[in-house]
Amino acid sequence: MKPLNIVLAVAGGALVGAAVGLLFAPDKGSNTRNKIADYLKSKGVKLSKKNLDQLAEELEEQIEINE
């Protein structure tokens, strides 16, 4: 199998996986962020909305790097 075909197969799989994840997400993004913030508060971590958004962006970048 050619390397280009492998790359296209991986990229296609990642795209399909992301689409399925969005379609079957159990809750809206804002609700999920609120749940994460509530969980962090219960553990003693306080984040402002700006900091929570920054944390979400950093996590997204790390996920993209690891894929």
pLDDT at 66: 62
The pair of three-digit structure tokens given for residue 7, joined into one six-digit string: 């790359």
Q: What's the confidence (pLDDT) of residue 23?
A: 66
CA dihedral 21, 25, 28, 31 (to 10 degrees): -110
For residue 21, what pLDDT is reported?
72
Tens of each residue's pLDDT in the chain, 67 residues: 577 788 888 888 887 877 777 667 777 777 777 777 788 788 887 777 787 777 777 777 777 766 5
Neighbours of 55 (CB within 10 A): 16
In angstroms, the Cα distances linking 5 to 2, 12, 18 are 5, 10, 20
pLDDT of residue 67: 57
The reported pTM is 0.41
Hey, how many other C-beta atoms are within 10 angstroms of the C-beta on 6? 10
